Amino acid sequence: MKFKKITIIIGCVMSFSQLMAQSPVLTPGNVESVTVNDHDVTFQAGSIFGKVIVYSPSVIRVRLDKKPLGRDFSYAVIAQPQKTKTSITQNEESITVLTDSLKAVIHKKPFAIAYYTPGGQLINQDEPGLTTSWVGEEVTSYKTMMPDERFIGLGEKTGNLDRKGNAYTNWNSDTYGYQVDQDPIYSTIPFYIGIHHSLNYGIFMDNTYQSDFNFGASNNRFSSFGAHGGEMNYYFIYNKNIAGIIQSYTGLTGRMKMPPLWSLGYQQNRYSYYPDTEVLRIAQTLREKKIPSDGITLDIHYMDRYQLFTWDKKRFPDPPQLTAKLNKLGFKLTVIVDPGIKVEKGAPAYESGAKDSVFIQYPDKTFYTGQVWPGWCNFTDFTSEKGRAWWRKQVKFFADNGVSGIWNDMNEISTWGQKMPSNVLFDFDGAKTTHLQAHNVYALEMIRSSYEGAREHFKERPFILTRSGYAGLQRYSAIWTGDNRAEDNHMLLGVRLMNSLGLSGVSFTAMDIGGFTGGASTALFTRWMQIGAFIPYYRNHTALNTKASEPWAYGEDALEISRNFINFRYKLMPYMYSNFYESTQTGMPVMRSLAIGNTFDVKVYDPAFQNQYLFGGAFMVAPFESTKEYGKIYLPQGTWYNLYSDEQLQGKAETIQPLNMSHLPVFVKESSIIPMQSLVQTTAEAPTDTLTLHVYNGKVANTFVLYEDDGKSYNYENNEFNKRAISFDPAARKLTIGETTGNFASKFHEVKLVLHGFTNIGKIKLNSKIMNGHSAYYTMIDPVNNIDPQGADGGRRDAAPVYELSFGLSNQKQVLDYELK
């Protein structure tokens, strides 16, 4: 008996020791088996299965899982691997994957991966001892945090431009009136850019489960990214500049299509405009007060008891007649849609959706029901082709009523209580899954369905707007930053959110001008309207039970200043539209963080200057609170012109500028080329046939691609566009307007050339013919009327001395040579 007791005790101790040896953290072991193909490496490391794939010369993909790799499927990535010259070699210690742009070294004992430039400089590596690991179903990759490393991007995230020292969670959330440091908010883009030692790289983790990114929060050892389920699946991107990283990332996830021209105009919104007579009153007042504008939006009160695909017939008795009247006035109508379909017997949308079984379900096959505006609702399963096809069919309802834009809201998914059960099932395109995996991608598939439905049924390009999304959303929709507040800090936060979205592949962005909740002061509204003129989607929007927020609601001065800046935006249409074209080609955002072009200038990350941004390549905007009387501004390298006066300031320096209600600090970069048109009240109105071409003197060569098409159809996809490169070469003292390409006839036949900063201009020749010009003053943004024309400045405080000349615009190459006195 005594011997048996001792044996049992020893056996228990041994079992406990074995249990303790099994760590609750699962990490890869040594690489035990390797299969090498032309462009990929498949391996097993202990109990971990992996694959490293060359996607392009500058992109390498890594897949890791604790079971054999499963279905290779993505809602975000639409690109296939490119055929790439690749060398893959191995020895006992490592496997080396080499392209002409990037080298990856896969260490075998134990598994870890490091990335180098072709010249051997370390870009990024797994943190030794941590690498990639699993805690239960949660998988995380740990990266060595380099000295002085910065991190930017990650989409719609609050906080500073430089995300070092912080951590973020991706779980799309309805966050009404969110705090300026709240996380998460509405959308998920798990892509960031790391910067250190004159190097930059991007990492995109394509995993739709709730994910977490840590950039040195609560530790001094690593940065990390991980998800609460699924495999580790990420793309490593290297390029010498951030623009190249954004181009590679959008090469993976897609780029925006050309938007309808009207969507670049001013949009007047409210929660809510009704009835139809009120909508027309707003439209007519905008015209009477000569406020250029192109769009009006209807919130949920246009519907019959908030039921989707209906109209409230008392408020809107004849929607096609309303949209026809608006179109005649030069306005397009956008309407809101939510994903919830009210559970109501006899309602067409409900009966149709239930019959076709397009709604998400519980495991017992009953439809999930959640409460939203209409009451208890079912929700379309946009992760199934059947659900998307049903939704596309419903979009015909809007086309039949003359609607031009679809505003997708509440698509996080948002329901009262904000706690959708985890066991709700989604089709996930044939790989049925739970809410945990489908949640973050739901909005992406909703806007995909709205876009595809509108493309099928609308006669012209639609405008699609969303509150929520996932990586790749730029293929289908613009996005706005949700239910912000009428506060100065929210105005500036909105700028940072849009800049970060731009860094993350999303170019068509917006915030609610004036603030959604609360009521803006006159000064705040005025400043916000000025900033709005320099953002991609210019939308004035305010909430229910707030004071009116149309430009005329804040007094004559606010109205005049707002109108002056809107006027300037409409004159800039050729410039803006061309910048949107650039976004469709390279992913370069219209609204650009200074970090894109000044990546290693530490000043641009300073919280004092991080709100500054470029609008296109020419304008630098410096937003400030409405309460400030002076603003400290950082000018990056180069020469900068004050937009109003053409005063020249040298870069790599700080300047303090006085602030007032009528002037937003805006500067123009040297050598900029800015095409402008005559003022119109709506983009439906044709400008004059004169292109005003502004060229700013400088020391660097520059090229601007001027792009035109009809602004409304898809004909541009079939070569119906007009494109030409305009180049300025100061060393050769030459301006070249290139030959046109495409079959679309330009709307411009004359050029008015306006030269800024050419103080000693001499003889000018156009294609060897001497041209006559003259000195003049030019006003970019009209001054307010209370400037005394007889004052000491002669009324020219907002006018810049320029040199002008005019000539006909040809489809052939035109070369203008100039001499200096």
Q: pLDDT for 263-288, tens place per residue?
A: 999 999 999 999 999 999 999 999 99
The CA distances from residue 788 to 19, 301, 542, 568, 659, in Å, are 86, 47, 35, 22, 19
d(Cα 56, Cα 247) in Å, to the nearest integer?
12
3-state secondary structure of 614: strand
Q: Average pLDDT, stretch 532-553?
A: 95
Q: Average pLDDT, stretch 365-392?
A: 98
Residues serving a catalytic function are: 409, 412, 483
Instruction: Say what the pLDDT of residue 3 is.
Output: 39
Global pTM value: 0.95
Give phi and psi for 767, each to the nearest 5.
Answer: 50, 45
The answer, yes or no, to whether residue 255 has pLDDT greater than 80, is yes
Instruction: Say what the pLDDT of residue 248 is.
Output: 98
3-state secondary structure of 576: helix
Query: Of 213, 234, 255, which is closest to residue 508 (Cα–Cα)?
Result: 255
d(Cα 99, Cα 243) in Å, to the nearest integer?
20
pLDDT in tens, 126-167: 999 999 999 999 999 999 999 999 999 999 999 999 999 999
Sequence-ordered alpha helix ranges (H) in 593-734 = none
Instruction: Say what the pLDDT of residue 797 is.
Output: 65
pLDDT in tens, 464-506: 999 999 999 999 999 999 999 999 999 999 999 999 999 999 9
The kind and range of the H/E element at 509 are strand 509-510
Instruction: Say what the pLDDT of residue 798 is.
Output: 84
d(Cα 273, Cα 269) in Å, to the nearest integer?
8
3-state secondary structure of 198: coil
Q: Which residue has the tokens 């060393």?
A: 731
The answer, yes or no, to whether residue 384 has pLDDT greater than 90, is yes
Instruction: Say what the pLDDT of residue 4 is.
Output: 42
Q: Average pLDDT, stretch 341-350?
A: 96
pLDDT in tens, 729-757: 999 999 999 999 999 999 999 999 999 99
Instruction: Say what the pLDDT of residue 653 is.
Output: 98
Amino acid occupying residue 644:
Y
pLDDT in tens, 668-717: 999 999 999 999 999 999 999 999 999 999 999 999 999 999 999 999 99
Instruction: Say what the pLDDT of residue 792 is.
Output: 40
pLDDT category at 786 given cuts 50, 70, 90 is low
The kind and range of the H/E element at 499 are helix 488-503
Say if residue 360 is preceded by a cis peptide, omega within 30 of 0: no
The answer, yes or no, to whether residue 9 has pLDDT greater than 80, is no
pLDDT in tens, 62-110: 999 999 999 999 999 999 999 999 999 999 999 999 999 999 999 999 9
The answer, yes or no, to whether residue 36 has pLDDT greater than 80, is yes
- How many C-beta atoms lie closer than 10 Å to residue 438's C-beta? 24
Instruction: Say what the pLDDT of residue 821 is.
Output: 87
Do the Cβ atoms of 641 and 667 come closer than 8 Å?
yes
d(Cα 62, Cα 70) in Å, to the nearest integer?
14
Q: What mean pLDDT is reported for the chain?
A: 95
Q: CB neighbours of 411 closer than 8 A, spacing ≥ 6?
A: 338, 339, 442, 443, 446, 447, 466, 467, 468
d(Cα 44, Cα 766) in Å, to the nearest integer?
67
Instruction: Say what the pLDDT of residue 22 is.
Output: 73
The CA distances from residue 529 to 3, 65, 238, 413, 560, in Å, are 88, 50, 38, 31, 11
